[in-house]
Structure 1
Amino acid sequence: MDTAEYDGSVLYLGLGILFSGLAVHKIVKNKVNIENASLSALPALLLLEAFCYFFFPVKLGVSVFFVACVLYYITLPVRRMLPAEGKSVLVTGCDFGLGHALAKHLDKQGLRVFAGVLKKNGPGAEELKKVCSPNLSLIQLDVTNSEEIAAAYCEISEAVKDTGLWAIVHNAGVLLYVADGELLPMNVYKQCMEVNFIGVVQVTKMFMPLLRKAKGRLVTMSSMAGHIPIPGFAAYAASKAAVTMFCGVMRQDLMKWGVNVSSIHPSGFKTNIFGSQEACSRQAQNLLENIRPDVRDDYGEDYLNAVKDLQNEMFSSSSSDISPVLEDAYHAVLAQHPFATYTPGAFAYLIPTIFRYSPPWVYDTFSKLVFNNHRIMLPRSLRTSHSNYKTD
């Protein structure tokens, strides 16, 4: 290697190390998510560096590579937040779980929080009154109840007056039960759609004049299941897919009004989405009571009993640190330039990417390795047919 080649290698290496350090620092400092860091551009930069090294003179190649690195660095988003003073936000589903934690988090940031609860005198509501500032107001709000939605609108409209409502965070949601789509009762499908989708639409339509007045934010807590098929989640995933598409269309519809729309798609977190142990037992009983005798016979009692343990397994494998979801919701509400989509949690970006860009058989094979639903036994009739096949 002559002197010119050595000098060129040192320049490329030094520039690469310097750029990598600056980019990582900016990504960490601004809490940039993987999908928003445009990581797909990094392999292209590496290929460009190799191309410049082998085919361009040293000065020209280094210059081209330097300009590409600068352009990438500039495009990385910066965490610039708007002041919370004078801004109000409605958060639904604040009795327990994620909504409860989010109401506290936004209250600490200085926002005026209207916390929608199912029971204004319930334990979750009482705790919010104790630990939060006087800026937090409890709102009686069942998102499936049109009268309560209208009453909440009148109460909040009177409170914010001409300022308008800066943001809505649609958090209220139900999962109810995890089981094969054939086994889930129709009332589970209907309730998931009623709460997770219709409820979001009803609240949005009612409060939209206040949002438009403030040129504010519409934020919806969807799910990774709204992007990908997850076995056992037929009812929940269908409702989240519906609300995800609703948010996408509303983002386009509301651009002309200056309202930003974001959807958050978390992976597995330990929230109240599974409900209490008592609620899970009721849903299990509901499932068993609605299975036709021939279906029960095909699946077998041992399979049905194994299905009961799925929710406990999924809950135990979920993350107890919900801070990534809280931070993304806060960013969606107050960032100068909020993202259209957030994917907090392990694999919340990777798994939908595999689904989107891989053949179906690749994703189906991958899901068998990832999701617990495929680890239970085969239904009784399939085990019998396999056994007969082997005997023959």
Structure 2
Amino acid sequence: MHLHRIPVNQNHNSQGKKNATMWFWLLVLVGFYFLFRWYWYRQILQNLTDKYVLITGCDTGFGNQLARQLDGRGLRVLAACLTQRGMEQLKEATTQRLQTIILDVTDTESVTAAANWVKQQVGDRGLWGLVNNAGISLPLAPNEWLMKDDFLKILNVNLLGLIDVTLSLLPLIRKAKGRIVNASSMAGRISYTGGGSYCISKYGVEAFSDSLRRELCSFGVKVCIIEPGTFKTFMTDPKHNEESFQKIWNRLPAEAKESYGQGFYIKYFKVIRNLEVMRNPKLTLVTDCMEHALTAVHPLTRYSTGWVAKLIYVPFSYLPTALADFLMSLM
């Protein structure tokens, strides 16, 4: 009886062809996925000129840039500013379509008045978009250096004010089956040393946004979260951060100063100054994401923007806690 032996090279060639075919179809599927995602991402709503959008914190920074940007696109922007000066400067830089109002998100009476004003502006259309952009970052310092009022100062603006504004406008947003865009931060993904209540407030924004998104899904309302890295705005100005940090250090009890030491104080000061290198001046990276969340047919749930966010904070947030702690301590 003679056995027919298949050459080893023939088996090897056959396996090689199978592997090549498998990789070919895998690349096709990956290419199709990215092509579909690109097409899905680029679909923009029609009749944008009929849509009203309220933006908080329009005096400077992202809010100011977004208000001008959306006004240029033809949307009906309702810009809420904290100061009269901020309101006047924004009016000078935009068309007559844009309407402004003074709003202090920490004052419930101011929020209620703004909600009534918005209702008069939008009429039966409802409010298409709400961008909760207003926020502050100071005081920043190690938790032990802060007092309860320091925590409240930031929480009242970044979290409780955001919640108050959102709840007051929800009926109008539900009516329009619109969008809620909440400005969070990379500090809402991973806390850093000396973040004080800023990190706490942004974690709260993330939690509130997640629960709100799930609650309002059946009403056709979409909730999006913006997570910027470090950008060149008033909030990240090293000069103001240094002044705030200096005041907190000066009021510390002698025991606390001795425990932390002058070395810690100097090192923390260097970190604040090094922020200047990391501050991205291109604010449109963030406002383009906000605009997409408002105008896209299929907005994303989260937008992480800037190289600091994409290369540091997002990857760190997925690492084991011990490793993330170690890497953050190096920074």
Query: TM-score normalised by the shorter chain: which range applies?
Result: 0.7 to 0.9
Task: Tell me, yes or no, if structure 1 residue 358 matches structure 2 residue 319.
Answer: yes
Structure 1 gaps of 5+ residues are 9-51, 372-392
Q: By how many angstroms is 1:98 displaced?
A: 1.6
Deviates more, 1:258-267 or 1:172-181: 172-181
Question: What TM-score does the superposition give when structure 2 sets the normalisation length?
Answer: 0.87
Q: Which runs of 5+ in 2 are unaligned?
A: 1-9
Match runs of 1:167-206 below 5 Å:
167-206=129-168
Q: Pick 1 or 2: higher relative contact order, CA cutoff 8 A, min separation 6.
A: 2
Does residue 1:222 correspond to 2:184, yes or no? yes
Q: How far is 1:108 from its partner?
A: 0.9
Alignment of 1:243-282 (within 5 A): 243-274=205-236, 277=239, 281=243
Q: Deviations over 1:119-143 (max 9, x none)?
A: 1x21x22221111011111111010
Aligned pairs, number:
318
Instruction: Quote the Cα distance in structure 2 between the aligned partners of 1:143 and 1:53.
Output: 66
| Cα distance, 1:280–1:135 mapped onto 2, change above 3 Å | farther
**Quick one: distance in 1 between partners of 2:108 and 2:96?**
28
CA contact (8 A) 1:89 1:167 kept: yes
C-alpha RMSD of the superposition: 2.6
Residue 87 in 1 paired to residue 51 in 2?
yes
Distance 2:143 2:64 in 1: 30
SS of the residue 1:138 aligns to: strand
| Preserved CA contact (<8 Å) 1:94 1:100 | yes
Deviation, structure 1 residue 251: 0.4
Distance 1:193 1:298 in 2: 28
User: TM-score, with normalisation over the residues of structure 1?
Assistant: 0.74
Structure 1 residue ranges, 4+ long, deviating more than 6 angstroms after superposition: none
Is 2:95 aligned against 1:140? no
Which residue, out of 337, 344, 363, partners 2:298? 337
Tell me the percent identity.
Answer: 32
Whether the 8 Å CA contact 2:278–2:308 is kept in 1: the answer is: no
Q: Within 1, Cα distance between the matches of 2:188 and 2:241? A: 23
SS in structure 2 at match of 1:76: helix
SS in 1 for 2:120: helix
Cα deviations by residue, 1:195-224 (Å, 9 ceiling, x for unpaired): 110011000000001100110000001000
Q: How does 1:1-392 map to 2 (within 5 A)?
A: 54=16, 56=18, 61=22, 64-65=25-26, 68-69=29-30, 71-78=32-39, 79-83=42-46, 84-119=48-83, 121-122=84-85, 124-274=86-236, 277=239, 281=243, 284-289=246-251, 291-301=252-262, 303-304=264-265, 306-308=267-269, 310-369=271-330, 371=331
Are 1:113 and 1:135, in contact at CA under 8 Å, matched by a contact in 2?
yes
The residue matched to 2:163 in structure 1 has which SS? helix
User: What is the deviation of 1:293?
Assistant: 2.6
Aligned residue number for residue 6 of structure 2 = none
Q: Distance in 1 between matches of 2:79 and 2:247?
A: 32
